[in-house]
Structure 1
Amino acid sequence: MKYRLMDLLACPYDKTFPLELYVLKVNKYEERSVKFKKKPACELYCAFKGKRVEELEGDPGCDECIKYEVAEGVLRCPKCGRWFPIMDEIPILLPDEMRNKKEDLEFLSRHRDRLPKEVVEEGKPWSLKEG
């Protein structure tokens, strides 16, 4: 998942923006480059810097940002507490009824030491605390 996607994603349940991003693994593609019409390329939120666009100072780092893909991580809604895994560079924002509980819990278990308790123990639709 490109960091730039965070400028577009909102919680599918309550439309909260921006979502929290917890990066577990990043892939870098050195050869990747893009000619941006304007910088910052993001309109509202720069996940690469972890700031709203109006808070950025100087070079926003777009040329470097575009080289990275979040390979594994978690997106979390700070309002409703739902979390969504990022696997194989793909954010999986499925409704609760379409998610695979077993796979999600295995994902949480694998990364429990690298994620905050808000995801691991208190996350929705399920957490390791409730199983």
Structure 2
Amino acid sequence: MKKQLMDILACPIDKYHPLDLHIFIEDEEIIEGSIVCPKCLRWYPIRDEIPEMLPDELRKESDDLPFLKKWKNKFPEKVVFEGNPFRLKR
């Protein structure tokens, strides 16, 4: 994903802009990371350079929780334990 995309992205749930970008792996583009809405604490994974900004009903816990567990030390703590639609238990 190109960083410039953040200039136009808004949360698909509450339409909030600007969103927070967390980069986990970067080359010329962002390879792995997350996009977080600071208003509703929804987080969206960036996998293989693609931001996956789906509404809650189209997201799979079986896909998203392993991503959150893998990168939990790179996410803000509030998102890890209070984020939407999935979070880790303390």
Q: What TM-score does the superposition give when structure 2 sets the normalisation length?
A: 0.94
- Find the aligned partners of 2:52 and 2:70 in 1 and give their Cα distance: 17
Matched-pair identity in %: 51
Superposed, 1:26-41 pairs within 5 Å as 26-28=26-28
Corresponding residue for residue 45 of structure 2: 85
Give 1:117 shift: 1.0
Corresponding residue for residue 13 of structure 1: 13
Aligned residues: 90
Give 1:113 shift: 1.5
- Find the aligned partners of 2:31 and 2:38 in 1 and give their Cα distance: 22
Give 1:108 shift: 0.6
Which structure ranks higher in relative contact order (CA pairs < 8 Å, sequence separation ≥ 6)? Answer: 1
AA at the equivalent of 1:22: H
Q: What TM-score does the superposition give when structure 1 sets the normalisation length?
A: 0.66
AA at the equivalent of 1:14: D
Considering only CA atoms, is the larger Rg found in Structure 1 or Structure 2? 1
Structure 2 residues not aligned, in runs of 5+: none
Indicate the SS of the match to 1:13: coil
Give 1:71 shift: 0.6
